[in-house]
Chains A and B, each alone.
Chain A
Amino acid sequence: MQPTRQNAGQTGGNRGRMWRVLDERLGLGALQYPVPPHANTLGYSLGGITLTSFLILVATGFLLTQYYNPLPEAANESTRYIITTAPLGRLVRGVHYWAAQAMVLAVSLHLIRVFVTAAYKRPREANWLIGVGLLALTFGLYFSGTILKWDQEGYEAMLHNMETARLLGGLGVWFAGEFTRSVPMLVRLYVAHVSILPALLTLFVIAHCALVKRHGISPSPWVPARPAHPESFARHARHLAAYGLVLLGGLLALAVLFPPGLGPTPVEGVEVTKPPLPLLWLYPLENWFGLGSIFYATLLLGVFLVLVPFLDWGPELVPRRRQAMLAAGSLVLAVIVGLIAVALLGPTAAHVGM
């Protein structure tokens, strides 16, 4: 192991003895591997902030599951119970809601940072693909969470899920209502939200982190490849914990200042809401090209992201030498932002064959 500032300071005294005791039993020394100093900047901590948001979501989700009833006839009212009656329910739900927004924002910014700094290049192609999977799982969790509150917006989101699955035929069978007639779709989505998707996300996170450790934190295009004084991962972890504290405080404040409400109980046969902001870019496409465009646009974006490391194969990291790839990425981002603007300005419309 290379010497670092951190382990150099842990050789003597009670602290040193304590460290050796713990290290012998828990293998904490494995966390002392060197990382470059730029790893502690905010841009290179966005992955850690995403993970912190996920941990907050898991913790608050545990509490919410104690009061939430996923049966269609009770879901909306149990959400009202959480807000109005359950101890700290309004606060916990508020933190859960804002942590979900934070996770979507952080994972998106993390992806943009990795893209701009070309951190997907050899030997990190596989980790980029795992990251794309994590992005998909994050949005899957966000989408299913939107449905669970079971107001008009949630109900319409579920119909979109089922109708898109129906359009896909055999490919979408697992997401279709016809897959099983013994369990309501809402309950199945609840199971996906609280067990299947978090379990998959956890596995992907483990693989993602293992590969980060294996390859090291990616170099910055703007600093020397081999820093004279590398930091230790343990110090980086303390940075992440500090960012996590700031995030937690911010989420608490948001939950109090802007508590998320709940829509009216759903009515079938109408479509009167728009999706939440992270999913809003799909809404105009649905207006123009129909329901199937949700799937095809998402697939297209996914294919683009998967191809990124294979299209930008050279060794260059500096952005000005990768103009074609950055132009393509900027165009994709501009289209998404433009579509969101269109959706915000346009009227609501019905799509799901009422």
Chain B
Amino acid sequence: MARSIRNLALLIVGIAILGQAGSAWAHKGEARPPDAATAVRQALAFLDAVPPNFGEAAEKAKWALEAKDQAGVDRGATERGIEALRAKDKSRARDLLRQALAPPVGTPMAQAPKDIAGRPVDHRGEAEAHHRQGAPLDALTLRFEGSGREYAILAVAVAVVIAGSLVLRRV
């Protein structure tokens, strides 16, 4: 029995080591986005990942500065965002990159999204269909707030559990 457990533990450790090695191969083949706005949004996605990936985010933000199509992006904010990413200051980097996607009035706007109703659908572009013009909408994090309504629902939940338990005892 102890031998089986040891073998199983060795197997899991082996898989874990392979997993670490394997993940290093997986970043091959990422293509540069054609426009700066998409690259900045990608940087924000890496910043919002759990845990945040500052290195990849900085790389994407650099791509944004090098992209041919600079429409819809504030270069200054992007540059300051890269500095914040290098300093691993998530909050500041996030603010600056979002600011980079909301350029001052007069800056040329990014290309309009394709009309999915009338033209052939580009499925890869579905994510961008609506959000191409600005920063992505933030994650919506919810938690128990302790409101009266929540406590009322909890009371109902407890009552339902008790009712079910009583029926289980009776039948």
> Measuring CB to CB, which residues of chain A are less than 8 angstroms from any residue of chain B?
40, 71-74, 76-77, 80, 83-84, 90-91, 151-152, 155, 158-159, 162, 177, 181-186, 235, 238-239, 241-250, 252-253, 255-270, 272-273, 284, 286-288, 334-335, 338-339, 341-343, 345-351, 353-354
A249 touches B126 (CB 8 A): no
B42 touches A250 (CB 8 A): no
B45 touches A181 (CB 8 A): no
Pick from B12, B23, B139, B143 the residue with the most CB of A within 10 Å.
B23
| Contacts of B49-63 to chain A: CB distance below 8 A | 49, 53, 56, 60
Query: Once bound together, how far apart are the Cα atoms of A243 and B124, in whole Å?
Result: 44
Taking the complex as formed, is B163 at the interface, i.e. its CB lies under 8 A from any CB of chain A? yes
Chain B: interface residue total (CB-CB under 8 A): 66
Taking the complex as formed, is B171 at the interface, i.e. its CB lies under 8 A from any CB of chain A? yes
A342 touches B15 (CB 8 A): yes
Pick from B128, B129, B157 the residue with the most CB of A within 10 Å.
B157
Query: Once bound together, how far apart are the Cα atoms of A246 and B30, in whole Å?
Result: 48
* Contact partners of A242 in chain B: CB under 8 A: 164-165, 167-168, 171
B26 touches A349 (CB 8 A): yes
B127 touches A350 (CB 8 A): no
Chain B's closest residue to A176 (CB) is B123
B124 touches A272 (CB 8 A): no
Picked from B38, B41, B123, the residue with its CB within 8 Å of the CB of A162 is B123
A252 touches B153 (CB 8 A): yes
* Contact partners of B11 in chain A: CB under 8 A: 334-335, 338
Taking the complex as formed, is B160 at the interface, i.e. its CB lies under 8 A from any CB of chain A? yes
Query: Once bound together, how far apart are the Cα atoms of A253 and B130, in whole Å?
Result: 35
A267 touches B45 (CB 8 A): yes
A264 touches B48 (CB 8 A): yes
Chain A: interface secondary structure?
A: helix
Query: Once bound together, how far apart are the Cα atoms of A349 and B22, in whole Å?
Result: 9
List 20 other contacts, CB 8 Å, given A255-B153, A267-B136. Answer: A72-B126, A77-B137, A177-B121, A184-B123, A242-B165, A242-B168, A246-B160, A249-B157, A249-B159, A249-B162, A250-B157, A252-B157, A264-B138, A267-B42, A270-B45, A287-B26, A288-B18, A288-B22, A342-B12, A342-B15
Pick from B12, B120, B142 the residue with the most CB of A within 10 Å.
B142
Chain A's closest residue to B28 (CB) is A350
Contact with A along B13-33 (1 / 0, CB 8 A): 001101110110111011101
Question: Nearest Cβ in chain A — how far from B96, in angstroms?
Answer: 17
